[in-house]
Structure 1
Amino acid sequence: MREGQVEAPWREPALARAISWVLVLGSLVAALTVGLVWAQDPAGLVAPSYASMMLLFAGLLAVRYLRMPFGWRATSFVAVLAMMGAMALLNFGLAPGPFIALCLATVSAGAFLGRAALLVSLVATTASVIAAGWLFTRGLVAPVSDTFVTSDLTHWIRAALEYALFGGSVAAVIMQLVVQLERREVAKARAQRLEALGRLAGGVAHDFNNALQVIFVWRELLADHEDDEVREAMDEIHASAEHASRLTAQLLAFGRRDIWSPRVLDLREEVERWTASMRRMVPEDVVVTTVCDGDPTVRCDPGQIEQILLNLVINARDALDGAGHVDIQLDEIPSSEVPGAGIRSSRVARLRVRDDGPGMTAEVRQRVFEPFFSTKKSMGTGLGLSIVYAAVQRAGGIVQVASEPGEGAVFTVYLPCIEEVEAEAEERPSRPTDRRAEGVILLAEDEPLIRRSLASVLRGAGYTVLEAEDGDRAMETVETHQGPIDVLCTDGVMPGVSTRSVIARFRELHPEGRVLLCSGHVEEELMRRDLRTEQLEVLPKPFAPKQLLARLQK
């Protein structure tokens, strides 16, 4: 069986239908041949060659209905057809029927078993034609019908060559059609799996992120606890929560259901910041070096940069399987130095992650970015590098891999640089200042644990907090509160009045106020409610309280 054949569910039913059609049509042909032989010589019906041919035809019933693996069933079907064709040659000479059976054997070999089986079947069936002609010319067999029989061996050889040319061509064309169908089926199945994964990630993201949000808030509230054991325990809890948050982000990024918030980034700062935090994910015997030349500026979502670096470093770590080196290099090059095309920018940021592991074969290189493809057997999910590919594509860049067996691997990411840095507010959260904050915040959140914990953090920072447990209460507060409301901090989806209506009314009554959307929902879900993230200030859950304070003090 060809590689990837198990991913084509149409093959087994197609083989079953083919055998059934051969049984139906063959029964009609068998009835006609019985009548023909009876009319010419009834004794021919019990001739060994004719009886053997009919027994072989009956054997198709066993091939059709006995339980056996697909490969055995397909091989048996091809073998029975080839032997039936050979026996028909001995009974009827160069009649059309035997060649139809031989051609069906060759076509079935190519369609169900692959190129090698097609070649073997074609050679074997062609040889059977020449062998039958040799037996006839030597007088070693007696046909049951002499209508298409000739004793000239050259006629048999010519018929064999014509069959090989015609039958082989038909089988090759049909095999190519089957290959294309198989590729479409595999691509369709993969797309369905990706869609299912994306829906699964989106479905659990909201509840999962809300649960993580409570952990992040209470960890920060207990960070200054007087008991050292409590602080250490909270640090461990926070590390586990961050790991869970990254897993959710990976699934959402893979399904392109995360909130895409691109902004102008100093890529050097991002790389240095994320690689420093990722060192603890690499064993002590793996040396990680980071070299950054220049200060390329790109427009991308910081979370996507993290996903790119995280998965490339993890892939390099897993490839080493022990001691080794992982080198991370960042520089800026002219777009003319980028292999291939596809980046519309005169300058390009080049990020390379190199390892000195065992390297890859050409076959692995071709499939390395395929979803669910992994060489790590039970250890890998096959999603890491496909997430990298999706993130780079989303940022308008390209990713390439260079590797040979025994020479390690180099993954290179090219991202378009911004020609002129746009004048926009700095988006990266800065550290909250120590001064007491001022202002009135309407906190609209339907999850009580999240609402109470965030309200405690905000009040501790000096803000006046108005709490709303649903859309109705938020709308009522917007319309009835005496005095200005500086910030509406709201969840994306709440019971009661829609978040979109609350935001519209808030902007109408408090035009100087800010709107901060803090949501654990995926972007697709927010867009269904007409909440376009590119038009709003978004802080995706889960987030640390210091990130919220930094946004408010920006």
Structure 2
Amino acid sequence: MGTHLDVTMARDEELARGAVEAAEVGAFDWDLTRGRFEGSTALWRLWGLAPGADAGSLLDCLQAADKAVLTAAVARCTPQSDRFACGLCVRWQDGTVRRSAVRGGVSFDAGGTAVRARGAVMDIDARFQESANAEIEASAALLRIAVNAARIGGFRISLPSYQTHLSDEVRAIRDFPPGYWPTMEEAVEGYEPEYRPAIFAAVRACAERGTPYDLEVRLVTPKKRRLWVRLMGEPRRNAEGHVVEIVGALQDIDESKRLEQQLRQSQKMEAVGQLAGGVAHDFNNLLSVILSYSSMMLAELPAEAPTRADLQEINRAGERARVLTAQLLAFSRQQIIQPRVVELTQLVHGVESMLRRLITESIELSLLTSRNVGKIFADPGQVEQVLMNLVVNARDAMPAGGTISIETADVELTPEYAEQHYGVVPGPYVMLAVTDTGVGMTAATMERIFEPFYTTKDQGQGTGLGLATVFGIVKQSSGHIWVYSEPGVGTTFKVYFPRTDLPVEPTVKPVHEAARLKGTETILLVEDDQQVRVLIRSVLRGYGYNVLDAQNGGEAFLTAEQFPGKIHLLLTDVVMPRMTGRQLAERLVGMKPDLRVLYISGYTENSIVHHGVLDAGIAFLSKPVTPEALARKVREVLDGR
């Protein structure tokens, strides 16, 4: 029994010793009374000594400060708390310093005196290095991901030879084959000519004076890709302070540059639109006077009157100005629209005959429409205007004839597409595309085609508002327009309207009545522009109405309170100082619940419209006002139609 126990204990001791050796853990036994410090074979190896050397040399491996740390850790132990732990730095005989972690316990005699300390020592340098290597590898992986996402690569230029050294990322950006090492001249040759002098000058200044550089330039790759890049470089010096090479980075910024240009263009169009809208609003009041008085005078003049032709020319010029003003308002997104659910394919076929009258016999019109296309929420008249303007633009691009194709389709604009096109919201859309086989456009022309008054036609052959009007209508309809063109090949305009699932509302055909437009009701007219107010008052009285007029909301409110009879209709401008037409109407309807209201304006003021869309249930007449249109709308509102 005893022999078996001895054998078992010996085997366990051997296994334990083997496990300790495999784990690279050393052990020590420190006789505190005699100062003798003994260590296991593993400890000698961990502390860089050959087993069997002078035992004192084990403690001599510790620097004085670390020997004091171990001594203090042991000294702090008490019979009640006999465990200790600390960290040590061990200096090997070759000067290498290794870090060790020490854990152990202290034995005490009957009197409470510390007599022996035993413990284990673990070399933590290897584990620390493994952890550091793992962190380095993880950081490198993250760096690779960041480099790929940022489309950036590094390069070196050796001096004075100016030999270039490119990373794989730079080669990928520039479409260079693997292993290609271009000379300095070959590397710069790939940039567009206008940027090459600046690049050479920046590199020379960096090499000669140590001046860092940061440039945004455009290059053309061997695959004919044109892209914007950011080129950065800084000097690297030797011990004497001389620049021996240039290190730098090349970043593909083409996508961000494109978005930046789209944003700048959008801001410019917005600023021009605000100006155009303000001018158009003022012109509408003037045109109301010009068109109305010329129309009334023409109605009273006999056909043989010598001044009739002159008045007709005035009226025709006013009509042309009215069309231009409407185009300015459409471009500036300040035209009041009345959207409804529209089937785009049906709308295209509805105006097909009119479109054919716009083009010449040498041009073929092809409709590539789908019956299953979704619905959109837009003003039908505005969508028709978009289509007509695009067809006219295509016609003018084909003086020798060709083909115009009109296509409708359901499309899904993805988040990736939206990221590359400023202002686009991803989601379902209905596309209207107009393609021609005409002369096409250059990139410089395409950058300006939506600017108002910009035209490539000869003087007198275009206003430059056709495509600007298209742009404004599309944006006001929450849509998106995209154009692609190649000189000598043709042009495609793609308009995307947001798709809707709302049902199509039945359309009510307007009543083309031949009955008289006269009336005897009392109308309260409120208009701050005196010329327009006098004009409208004259027109309405001419149709038999009793007209009370006021120049602002306060005066109108006082007039309504003092008038003893019934007021049937409030005819008010929307934009007025101190009190808007909407505020006035709400106060007066509170006093006179059966009062009907008709608004007149040429401007998208938010009291009756929101984002240019007329509020539901609002009766509205757009300026400029003409006598017959005014009389018809007044009669329509009074009759409750």
Give the 3 Å change call, closer, same or farther, for CA 402–515 of structure 1 in structure 2.
same
Cα gap change, 1:292/1:200 in structure 2, threshold over 3 Å: closer, same or farther?
same
Question: Alpha-carbon deviation of 1:78?
Answer: 2.4
Deviation at residue 204 of structure 1 after TM alignment: 1.9
Greater share of strand: 2
Residue of structure 1 equivalent to 2:249? 171
Residues 394-413 of structure 1 aligned to structure 2 (within 5 Å): 394-395=476-477, 397=479, 399=481, 405-413=487-495
Task: Give me the whole-angstrom Cα distance separating, in 2, the residues matched to 1:202 and 1:551.
Answer: 25
Counterpart for residue 396 of structure 2: 318
Q: 1:402 to 1:420 in 2, by over 3 A?
A: same
Q: Which of 408, 424, 439 is matched with 1:358 structurally? A: 439
In the alignment, the residues of structure 1 paired with residue 195 and residue 594 of structure 2 have an alpha-carbon distance, to the nearest angstrom, of: 72
Structure 2 counterpart of 1:536 = 618
State the alpha-carbon separation in 2 of the partners of residues 234 and 273 from structure 1: 36
Equivalent residue, structure 1, for 2:334: 257
Q: Aligned equivalents of 1:274 and 1:443: distance in 2?
A: 38
Q: Is the 8 A contact 1:436 1:462 kept in 2?
A: no
- Give CA deviations for 1:92-120 in whole Å, capped at 9, x if unaligned: xxxxxxxx56xx4xx45xx155447999x
Q: Does 1:434 align with 2:512?
A: no
- Residue identity matched to 1:81: A
Q: What is the SS of the residue equivalent to 2:249?
A: helix
Q: Which of residues 250, 261, 277 in structure 2 aligns to 1:202?
A: 277
**Which moves more between the two structures, 460-469 or 285-294?**
285-294
Choose which of 505, 508, 524 in structure 2 pairs with 1:422. Answer: 505
Tell me, which stretches of 5 or more residues in structure 2 are unaligned? 1-193, 222-226, 415-425
Give 1:514 deviation, angstroms. 1.9
Q: Compared with structure 1, are the counterparts of its residues 187 and 263 closer, same or farther at alpha carbon in structure 2 (3 Å cutoff)?
A: closer
Q: What's the TM-score once normalised by structure 1's chain length? A: 0.58
Distance 1:401 1:209, change over 3 A: same
Rounded to whole Å, the distance in 1 between the matches of 2:567 and 2:587 is: 12
Note the alpha carbon deviations across 1:39-80, whole angstroms, 9 max, x for none. xxxxxxxxxxxxxxxxxxxxxxxxxxxxxxx97983674264
Structure 2 distance, partners of 1:268, 1:232, is 43
**Displacement of 1:387:** 4.2
Aligned ranges 1:98-497 → 2 under 5 Å: 100=210, 104=212, 107-108=213-214, 111=215, 113-115=217-219, 167=247, 170-173=248-251, 176=252, 186-187=261-262, 189-224=264-299, 225-227=301-303, 230-263=307-340, 299-302=377-380, 304-305=382-383, 307-320=385-398, 322-324=399-401, 327=404, 335=410, 338=411, 344=428, 351=432, 353-360=434-441, 363=443, 371=451, 376=456, 384-385=466-467, 387-395=469-477, 397=479, 399=481, 405-413=487-495, 415=497, 416=499, 420-422=503-505, 426=508, 430-431=511-512, 433-438=514-519, 439-495=521-577, 497=579
**Is the CA contact (8 Å cut-off) linking 2:337 and 2:614 kept in structure 1?**
no
Q: Structure 1 pair 432/214, CA: closer, same or farther in 2 (3 Å)?
A: farther
Equivalent residue for 2:595? 513
Pair 495,292 (structure 1): closer, same or farther in 2 beyond 3 Å:
same
- Output the amino acid matched with 1:196: A
Q: TM-score, with normalisation over the residues of structure 2? A: 0.51
- Determine the C-alpha separation between the residues in 2 that align with 1:196 and 1:318: 29
Structure 1 range deviating more: 406-415 or 441-450? 406-415
Relative to structure 1, is the Cα distance of residues 222 and 373 closer, same or farther in structure 2, using a 3 angstrom cutoff? Answer: closer
C-alpha spacing 1:467/1:306, structure 2 compared with 1 (3 Å): farther
Q: Using the TM superposition, name which of 247-256 and 501-510 deviates more.
A: 247-256
Q: Displacement, 1:312?
A: 1.3
1:358 Cα deviation from its structure 2 partner:
2.0
Contact (CA 8 Å) 1:324, 1:355: kept in 2 or not? no
Instruction: State the structure with more CA Rg.
Output: 2
Q: Tell me how many residue pairs correspond in the alignment.
A: 412
Query: Quick one: which amino acid aligns to residue 319 of structure 1?
Result: A
Instruction: Work out which structure has the larger RCO, using CA pairs closer than 8 Å and 6 or more positions apart in sequence.
Output: 1
Give the secondary-structure state (helix, strand or coil) at the position aligned to 1:435: coil
Contact 1:354–1:408 (CA<8 Å) still a contact in 2? yes
Cα separation, 2, equivalents of 1:328 and 1:547: 37
Distance 1:288 1:239 in 2: 32
- Between the aligned partners of 1:259 and 1:188, the Cα distance in structure 2 is 25
Distance 1:276 1:233 in 2: 34
The runs of 5 or more residues in structure 1 that have no matched partner are 1-69, 86-99, 130-144, 150-158
Quote the residue 1:84 is aligned against.
208
Q: 1:283 to 1:422 in 2, by over 3 A?
A: closer
CA contact (8 A) 1:354 1:410 kept: yes
Q: Pick the structure with more helix per residue.
A: 1
SS of 1:523's partner is coil
Query: How large is the Cα RMSD of the aligned pairs?
Result: 5.0
Report sequence identity in percent.
34
The more displaced of 309-318 and 297-306 is 297-306
| Amino acid in structure 1 at the alignment position of 2:474 | V
Distance (Å, rounded) in 2 between the aligned partners of 1:310 and 1:473: 45
Q: 1:312 to 1:237 in 2, by over 3 A?
A: farther
Q: Say if 1:74 and 1:443 are closer, same or farther in 2 by CA, change over 3 A.
A: same
